[in-house]
Amino acid sequence: MSNHPRIHPLHDPEASPARPTAPLVPRDASRSEHGDPSKDPLTQRPHRLAPPKRRGRSCCCRCVCYTLCFLLLFVVAIGATIGILYLVFKPKLPDYSIDRLQLTRFTPNQDLSLSTAFNVTITAKNPNEKIGIYYEDGSKITVWYLQTKLSEGSLPKFYQGHENTTVIYVQMTGETQDASGLRTSLEEQQQRTGNIPLRIRVNQPVRVKFGKLKLKEVRFLVRCDVFVDSLAADNVIKIQSSSCKFRLRL
């Protein structure tokens, strides 16, 4: 056994009791001698910037929506107006017929051309009770055999009232160049079928009047297919059959 004496610390009864020392780092703190890692710029995550708002696209979309809405309202308004006019006036298409056709000249010339002249009688009917028709200047009426124009003229300017029937007399003249083959074709057609097909076309500018409202100018396009017995000069041509079709062009 060791003979060294043991030394024990002595307690000083007059000494004041020891105070607890404050910790170097507060509780729930993450500080160290290297500083606060949460404030280290190398350890902080970069904040994402919000993309800028695209105002141009939103304005463009808004303009397109406004335009489409305006067009839709415009179409609805036009449709409603047309519907009201139709219910009030109950429009009906005019009717046309070829009543008489006379060939007053059918003369071959020395240069192989052919001079022709027709008198045609047309009956125009307006069956509408509240609609009038103004037949304006600038009309054109033509007589055709197949693809060859024989004569042309124009209708007079007049006003056709409600439920009115008007008889129109029109004179037409024309000259066909290099008509030697045309005369041969007419003769063969008559001998083969006993008739000659003619086509009469009318292009007529008109203005329609609804009550007191006079609309803008439109065009009546009339095509009549006429079968006659012959084409003899200074003779009233017998019309074997005829039919007319009407079309409106704005």
- Tens-digit pLDDT profile for residues 87-100: 767 889 899 999 99
221 in Cβ contact with 249 (< 8 Å) = yes
When pLDDT is cut at 50, 70 and 90, the band that residue 110 belongs to is confident
> Could you tell me the two tokens for 166?
């008007």
In the chain, where are the structural domains located? 95-249
At 45-90, the pLDDT tens digits run 555 655 555 555 677 887 888 888 888 888 888 888 778 767 767 8
Residue 194, pLDDT > 70, answer yes
Cα 142 from Cα 151, distance rounded (Å): 6
pLDDT for residue 132: 94
In the chain, pLDDT over 90 holds for what percent of residues? Answer: 42
Cα 80 from Cα 87, distance rounded (Å): 11
Q: What is the torsional sign of CA 18, 23, 26, 29?
A: negative
206 versus 54: which is more confidently predicted?
A: 206
In CATH, which of 3.90.1010, 2.60.40, 2.40.50, 1.10.3470 is domain 95-249?
Answer: 2.60.40
pLDDT for residue 120: 94
Min mean pLDDT across 116-120, 192-196, 202-206, 229-233 is at 229-233
* Mean pLDDT computed over every residue of the chain: 82
When pLDDT is cut at 50, 70 and 90, the band that residue 26 belongs to is low
In eight-state DSSP terms, residue 146 is T
At 8-22, the pLDDT tens digits run 555 555 555 555 555
Residue 29, pLDDT > 60, answer no
Spatial CB neighbours of 174, under 8 Å, sequence gap ≥ 6: 115, 116, 117, 143, 149, 150, 151, 152
Hunting for tokens 């780092």 — which residue is that?
25
Spatial CB neighbours of 169, under 8 Å, sequence gap ≥ 6: 119, 120, 121
Residues shown for the chain: 250
